[in-house]
Structures are given as structure tokens and as C-alpha cells.
Amino acid sequence: MASLVAYDTEESSDEERQHQHEHQHNLDSNLELEKVKLKETTKFNQIENQNDDQNVQSESKFSFKSESKSESRSGSGLSQSSDTHTSFKKSSLETQSEEEFLHLKTDSKVFKNLLSTTQLSLAPPVATKGDVMTGNPLDPTVKELKYNPKANELYAPTAGPAHPFQTQQMRAVKNTVTGFAEPSHVSRFQFETQRRTFHSYGYAMDPSGDSAVEESAAIIGDLKAAEEGKELTVFEASKSREGDKRKRKRNNDASDVDGYLGPWGKFIDEKTTMVPEEEEKKILDELVAKRKKNKTTIEDKVESEEKSTLHLKEEFDYQGRSWTHPPQDVGVSLKADAIPEKCFMPKRLIHTWAGHTKALSCIRWLPVSAHLLLSSGMDSKIKIWEVYNERRMARTYSGHKQAVRDVNFDNDGKRFLSASFDRMCKLWDTETGQCIGKFTNKKVPYCVKFNPDADKQDLFVAGTNDKKIVCFDIRSGEIVQEYDRHLGAVNTITFVDGNRRFVSTSDDKSLRIWEWDIPVDFKYISDPSMHSMPAVTISHNGKWLACQSLDNQVVIFNVLNRMKMMRKKVFKGHMVAGYACGVDFSPDMSYLISGDADGKMYIWDWKSTKLFSKFKAHDDVCISVLWHPHETSKIASAGWDGVIKYWD
């Protein structure tokens, strides 16, 4: 700090000037030292003030006097800056003699005025008596009060002064970001109903509404929409609104091949107004008339007469035995258990049965004895032939209007079934030729088969062209079961595994295995390399299933081993060309035989699958071949040339 004292250079001498300069220098150094002490004292006082502030917060009242003496606060109190500088001046001047400061009397006033202009306040701001909150503060998170607080305590801010720009809603207590949520029991269904109603219609019931409030006040959202919709929810029926989409006919069941609509269904209220032109109308009328002319009703077929003709001279022999009785003088045992030990390949033709005017469809041995042969043909006739002795035509069964597709005996051979393209299945008495029953489901049956169980001889199954297998009860004449899992016409039905199951093949190139009387197939065999198998035969021991595949080979399935296809046991060399040429096993399981589209008969070795022999059997397709179950080398074959040939 520079000295403000001016000296008269003319009156003072050099010694006085030097003396004054030294005193001025000492004074400046003392002032700098006192400034350092003042700073240290200020820091100490600030620390003491912080401790005092903590004590002030725990007291209800606090007063501070700026003019109190420093001794009352044990050296920690503060005084005004002017008193501090005054005491500083006295302490510094007492150390020097009065003579040294006589020349500074004029300068002390100036210095005092300079210090008085600078004031330093080290007292912290303290709340006054009126600003301190009285009473017990309330915790907003507490849910239970043990005393009755005042209103100003309830609405007082949590801490500190109230925010001047907050509304009453903003000052409300919140436990979430958007508001205050408290637990409450609400029906989940009612909550979901109101939520969906609000999102769909724009209004909903006020969840905080009171029953005493008016109904209009209990609705939130679009009140106009609520009035128009009569406050209905999404779960309540409402009238169709303008702009609703037109309804379409629905059928999304992909398994319904004929009736499947998908997204292309017509509108329910759609009206077709397109009228065909004159030329198109004429063509349509001709087509309808042609269909009506060619259409044959079931009633017309039922009215057809069933008759039978016996071609033998006598129905009974001299001992009273029927013509169906097995002969005893043929040199071969015709009992069921009489199986030849060793079979041989046939070498010559020994007999030809001719009686059908059109192609034959199938031939069947009479069960057990096999001394009679049943045949069906495209001439709608069924004939039975003698295999031994004179080998005559025994009886003809007439009653079908169209070609007969399949025939099948029951267990004892006293009855047989016939399936025809006239959509009828008929039950015949073998001996008398009487038609016992007629059965139809208005579809064409492709195959018929009795249930081989002795206690189920009144039930038979038929595979039809509408992809179904139907089971008829002979006693009632009605359908008792339906198997409809195939995707194409059913071609064959074969009972396996002790007659508990049966195997069906279809035009859908699949093989399905069914439990009896359970309309769901438990095994489905289909492979991209498989073809349709229209002819199937089971071996005499019930272990193997031979299937004529339309890719010109015979495939074998192991019945006892989960119906596994035997990939290595495949018989090739013949040409089927789409015909249902039958296959059969020799009684001793040493040979496999099959017909052919060229009229040939093929004989393979069963073990090695080697082709042993082939020869021309018929002039047209050889549709069916059967190895006699009691003969070593006798085979019957039927062809589309209308004849049955017997080979030995």
C-alpha cells in the first residue's frame, strides 16, 4: 500500500527524508503481515461457523449479534472489519515510541477512512423465527398416521419452500412417473373388456366413477360414440355399422378337396347375374340332356332281377350230396392243412374254360377245398367252374347291370360277395344262386372283403371310388363304420396280423394300415419313389405282402416287422403298363407268379428273386393268376381274352 503523505522537499533536509522513508517501509511490511494473519483468522472462523450452523439447525431459535465481543465466543466470534483494523492499529503503534509516529498523525486519518470503506461480513444466512416450520414433518410414503395433523401440514411441501410455478396437480404426491398408483381388486375380464372397448369404439366406463354420479359422467372418451353405440362393449352384440366388410363364404378346411374355398369364397349376399349367350346355352342344354339320358338311378338298378342258372344235369348226386361238396376221388387231399411239400413250375396247358363273352376281372378259389373256381367278368356275369373231373361250368349268377369288378367268398364258401360298376354290392348263396342282400353307398365299389374272423362273418368292407372304405352289416344292410383317410380311390383291402388289422392301397400311391373298427390309420406308408399298387396278395403263412406296383415291379412288405418294405426283395422283368395284374405265392413259398400286360405269365424264385420262367398265357392282358393251394404245379390264369386257362 503506497503512502499518501507528501513532504515539502524545500524545508526538510536529507536526513529527515531518509528517516521518513525507513519508517514508511516498516509500516508497509507490518500491514502485509497483518493481512496474512487476517486471512488465517478468516479461514478458522469459517470452520467454526460450519460447526455452529449444525448446532443452529437443532435449536428452535437462534440469534446472532454482530457487535458481540470476541471473548464471549472463546476467540471464535467475529467483529466488524473497522474494529479489527482499529485493534490492529493500536497493537502496532504501541510497540513504537510516540516520537516515531508524531509525523504520521495526519496520515492515520486517511488510512482509517480507507479501511472503513471496505467491509467484510463472514456471518452465514440463518432462517428467521417466522420461516422455521413448526410441528412434526410428515413422510409422504407413510400409510398410517398416529395423530391428527393440521391441514397446512398435510398440504405443506415435503422439504424446502413450495415451487412457485407448479400447479396443484403437479404438487400431488406420486409413486410412479405419471401419478399415484395403489393396489385395487379389478376383474381381469372386466378390465380387458373396457380396454378393448376403448381401443375399438373410443369410449369406456370410468374406472374411478361413482354409482351416485350421472351415467354420462361415468363414461370417458368419446361420449358421442358411446351414445350412438348405446354404451355397448366389444363383447355385446351391436348392429352392423356403415362401411363394414361384406361377409364371404368360409371353408378353410384344406382336407376338403371338393369344397375348399380359402380366401376366394363368394360373398354371402353376392348375386350371379351372368347369362350365357345363345350358342353357349344350346351347348349347355345338350350337355344336360345327355347327362340325364346317361344317368342311371339307384332305384332302376335295384329293380333289376337277380337270377341264377345251374348248368349241371343234377344238383345232387346219388348220395344226396350237393354239387358244391368236395370230391373224394381226385387223388389229392383237399383238406385245409394239406399243403404240398415241394412245388414245381408248370409246363403245359391242361384245360381252358370259356364262357364269358367279355374280359375277365378276377378269379377266386373256393375256400378250404379249392375244387371250384369263381370268376367275374366285364359281361356283368359271375360264373363258377369245376376244377376236377369234367371241369364243367356249374352255375351262372346274373343280377348286375354293369361289369363286375371283384368277388370274394366268406370263410366256408357258402356265400360270396360281388362288387360291380353299377354301384351295388350283392351277397349270393353259392349253392342255390339266390341273391341274399344288396348294399350300396351310391359309389362304385372297387373291392369287397369279408372279415375273416368267425364271429364277424356278418360284416364286410368295400373300397369305393370316393376315397372311402365302408363297413356294411349284412343283418341290417346299413353302414356301421367308415374309413376315409385316403386321398384317392381305394383299390385293395387285405386282412393281416390275425385279422386284427387290414391293409388298404389306393390311387394316392400310399399304403395304410388300420385297426379293425378304428377309422384312423395307425401307419401310413408313402414314399416319393412309390407308385400305385392296384393288386395285393398275402402269403399263405401270413408273413409277406406282395404288391403289384405300376412301375413294373413287385414289391414285398414284411407284415410281422412293422410292415417294412424289403428293398432287396424286388421282382422285376415284366411289364404291367397300368393294369391291375394279380400276383400269387406257391403253397410252399418257393415261387412268386404274376400276370403281365402282354398276356404273359412270369414265375420268379422267391429266395433269389431270379426270373425262372415266362410264357405266353393269353392273347390279351393276363389280369389274374392263382396257384392251386393243394397242387404242386397247377395254376389258373384269367385274361382279357375272356377265357380261363389251367396250367400244369
pLDDT (tens digit per residue) in 433-469: 999 999 999 999 999 999 999 999 999 999 999 999 9
| H-run or E-run covering 219 | strand 219-221
- The confidence score (pLDDT) of residue 40 equals 63
Q: C-alpha dihedral over 252, 256, 257, 259, to 10 degrees?
A: -70
CA 1 to each of CA 21, 117, 184, 552: distance values in angstroms, whole numbers, following the listed order: 14, 15, 78, 128
Per the structure block, which three cell numbers stand in for 403? 361289369
Predicted model pTM = 0.56
User: Is CATH 3.40.50.300 the right assignment for the domain spanning 309-647?
Assistant: no
* Beta-carbon contacts of residue 547 (< 8 Å; ≥ 6 apart): 505, 511, 533, 535, 536, 554, 555, 556, 557, 583
Report whether 587 contacts 602 (CB < 8 A): no
The DSSP bridge partners found for residue 381 are 398
Report whether 598 contacts 575 (CB < 8 A): yes
* Beta-carbon contacts of residue 164 (< 8 Å; ≥ 6 apart): none
- The confidence score (pLDDT) of residue 186 equals 80
Phi, psi of 304 (to 5 degrees): -65, 145
Cβ count near 114 (within 10 Å): 12
pLDDT, mean of residues 546-567? 94
> What is the per-residue pLDDT across 356-391, written as a single tens digit (0 to 9) for each?
999 999 999 999 999 999 999 999 999 999 999 999
- The confidence score (pLDDT) of residue 56 equals 46
Phi, psi of 6 (to 5 degrees): -105, 140
Question: Helix, strand or coil for residue 193?
Answer: helix
Comma-separated ranges of CATH 2.130.10.10 domains in the chain: 309-647
The CA distance from 430 to 415, in Å, is: 5
Per the structure block, which three cell numbers stand in for 561? 416287422
> Which range among 2-6, 179-183, 571-575 shows the weakest confidence by mean pLDDT?
2-6
- Going by C-alpha positions, the residue among 626, 49, 94 that lies closest to residue 375 is 626
CA atoms within 13 A on the CB side of 533: 27
- The confidence score (pLDDT) of residue 63 equals 40
- The confidence score (pLDDT) of residue 589 equals 93
Q: Which residue has the higher pLDDT, 617 or 276?
A: 617
- Going by C-alpha positions, the residue among 643, 586, 584 that lies closest to residue 617 is 643
- The confidence score (pLDDT) of residue 126 equals 59
* Beta-carbon contacts of residue 543 (< 8 Å; ≥ 6 apart): 558, 559, 560
Highest mean pLDDT among 117-131, 208-222, 570-584 belongs to: 570-584
Question: Helix, strand or coil for residue 28?
Answer: helix
- The confidence score (pLDDT) of residue 338 equals 80
Structure confidence at residue 181 as a pLDDT band (50, 70, 90): confident
Structure confidence at residue 108 as a pLDDT band (50, 70, 90): low
The DSSP bridge partners found for residue 383 are 375, 396
DSSP-assigned letter for residue 599: S
Per the structure block, which three cell numbers stand in for 226? 358411446
Q: Which residue has the higher pLDDT, 9 or 510?
A: 510
The CA distance from 21 to 28, in Å, is: 11
Cβ count near 455 (within 10 Å): 7
Per the structure block, which three cell numbers stand in for 445? 365299389
The CA distance from 374 to 366, in Å, is: 7
Question: What's the chain's average pLDDT?
Answer: 81
Alpha helices, DSSP H, located in 59-102: 81-94
Question: pLDDT at residue 89 above 70?
Answer: no
